[in-house]
Chains A and B, each alone.
Chain A
Amino acid sequence: EAGVAQSPRYKIIEKRQSVAFWCNPISGHATLYWYQQILGQGPKLLIQFQNNGVVDDSQLPKDRFSAERLKGVDSTLKIQPAKLEDSAVYLCASSPREAGELFFGEGSRLTVL
């Protein structure tokens, strides 16, 4: 079966610019997660969707980050405006059920200059 697809793989932007990341989860997976992984650290949950509803976005910096999951399938994560500390890998993961194993994409590496 096809894995979790993410794009772009790499993105370099100037601070205060905007960027968007796209994720296509494994078909049939109702739960979708966006994680931020700063170099040398573990992934930090930004937002969790169940179908197209938000389950948890308590750690999403809502003044600059937004995410949506239209029709309960694909998802986009947007950062506007970007700050230097947003430099990280943004990982998308999906799961067939809550609290089950996660299937991760390869990630989108963001560098903010």
Chain B
Amino acid sequence: SQQGEEDPQALSIQEGENATMNCSYKTSINNLQWYRQNSGRGLVHLILIRSNEREKHSGRLRVTLDTSKKSSSLLITASRAADTASYFCATAGGTSYGKLTFGQGTILTVHP
């Protein structure tokens, strides 16, 4: 079964707005990663946050991790039409170090 569960399943916003996606997981982790997938393409790594980190930034991306609540959020600021894609969280570690388990994903649509 999938470790991470994303919420919402789908998100539709206007260009320039912020997009927030959430991920919850069940077991202890070594790190949590976020990936983007454009339609018909492979996944692209966005950001990795370790279990001892609480927040990480990369360009317009901000990721937070709350290990006490077993949850993470991905914030995309000032969204663009090109951000339209599916976003997945993936967890690594616990008893299966190295095994990366993906959630079901959030479909983000950014309207011009």
Binding site for B on A (CB under 8 A): 4, 31, 33, 35, 41-45, 48, 50, 55-56, 91, 93, 98-107
Contacts and interface: CB of A to CB of B under 8 A. Distances in A.
B88 A45 contact: no
A43 B91 CA distance: 12
Contacts, number: 61
A58 B102 CA distance: 15
Interface residues of B, number: 26
B100 A104 contact: no
Interface stretch (B39-47, B65-73, B77-85): B39-47
A75 B35 CA distance: 23
A1 B35 CA distance: 20
Contact of A103 (B4, B41, B45, B98): B45
Given A104-B44, A106-B42, A42 B102 contact: yes
